[in-house]
Amino acid sequence: MQAFIEGLPKVELHLHIEGTLEPELMFALAKRNNITIPFSSPKEVSQAYQFENLQSFLDIYYQGANVLIKEQDFFDLTWAYLLRCQQDNVVHTEIFFDPQTHTDRGIAFDTVVNGIHRALTQAKQELGISSQLIMSFLRHLDEDAAFTTLAQALPHKDKIIAVGLDSSEVGNPPEKFTGVFTKAKQLGFLTVAHAGEEGPASYINDAINMLKVARVDHGVRCVDNEELLAQLITTKMPLTVCPLSNTKLAVFDTMEQHNIVELLRKNVCVTINSDDPAYFGGYMNDNFIAVSNALKPSKQELAQFTLNAIEASFISIEEKERLVTLTQYYLNDF
């Protein structure tokens, strides 16, 4: 099955670019920018990646981002991830960035977005990997701060397809951001939101009804509400599920207990994604392999994760058709 997974075309829809900062690059950037980090080697950084829950991860993740200062740093970070996409046969990727993590440290919005965008443009030309960029608001901050970030994004509207919502979920419900999401939609952005990762199924409902999301990020707690589950199936609402993230952050105790294949078999539009691969021990292939080893989906079912992601992606119908054909040929010829 490993060879099948490695060759399978993949589409990633849930990836935080700050979560691709590998310990080695963290060290190199700290040195280049003269920044002190509380670790003496990349190995010590990796050893610190033991998380009990979402918040214990976020505390380390925001600290890691402090080494990102210059446009070139954001380029290097993004380029390193895109080279991993090439290795894992990811043909299209939709990437989150958290502007507030950087603007709150005095880094200009333009520095962040221009560095990431330059790498995405180069990847399209040199690696043939297409992409979209999604700007996420940090939900532990207030809605006024999100409005400020939305205003900063307007000169870059051509580079950003959607707005999202991430960070500490419990206690920061979707309704806190209804105003800014409504405004973003009026301005022509699509919307997505993390919901039902650690938070309750009601947050998934609220993300759909109040924030008008086109996809739910994570959403695995949907199984707690039968009516919601039925609605996700009939409306084909995509869930961008992150298996290794969920086991590392104790959303599920083991991969054997993960509900992704059960949801697939119920016809929920679930997809496989890596979330913060530098922190959770794996990129796309690793996530597919972990699901395959623990839950034994068939080849057809593994390919269905890609077909679901193509359908749920923010690309043109023509491009969707091209990627569906590519995937079906691969499945039939394997």
Where do contacts with Zn ion occur on this chain (CB under 5 A)?
275
CB of 234 to ligand ADE, least distance (A): 27
Query: In this complex, which beta carbon is closest to ligand ADE, that of residue 98 or of residue 304?
Result: 98
> Which member of 166, 174, 277, 305 binds ligand ADE (CB under 6 A)?
166
Site track for ligand ADE across 181-220, x = CB under 6 A: -------------x--x-----------------------
β-strand 162-166 against 190-195: which pairing, if any? parallel
Residue 88 interaction partner, one of Zn ion, ligand ADE, none, beta carbon < 5-8 Å per kind: none
**List 197, 256, 262, 301, catalytic entry:** 197
List the interface residues with ligand ADE, window 89-128 (CB under 6 A). none
- Residue 167, interface with ligand ADE (CB under 6 A)? yes
CB of 334 to ligand ADE, least distance (A): 32
Among all residues, whose Cβ is closest to Zn ion?
275
Q: How far apart are the first and last CA of the chain?
A: 11
> Which member of 276, 302, 306, 327 binds ligand ADE (CB under 6 A)?
276
> Which member of 8, 10, 15, 16 binds ligand ADE (CB under 6 A)?
16
311 flagged as catalytic: no
Please, which residues have CB within 8 angstroms of residue 307's CB and are 6 or more apart in sequence? 324, 327
Query: In this complex, which beta carbon is closest to Zn ion, that of residue 22 or of residue 275?
Result: 275
- Residue 19, interface with ligand ADE (CB under 6 A)? yes
Query: In this complex, which beta carbon is closest to ligand ADE, that of residue 53 or of residue 87?
Result: 53
CB of 313 to ligand ADE, least distance (A): 19
Interface residue list for ligand ADE (CB under 6 A): 16, 19, 54, 166-167, 194, 197, 245, 275-276
Catalytic positions, written as ranges: 197
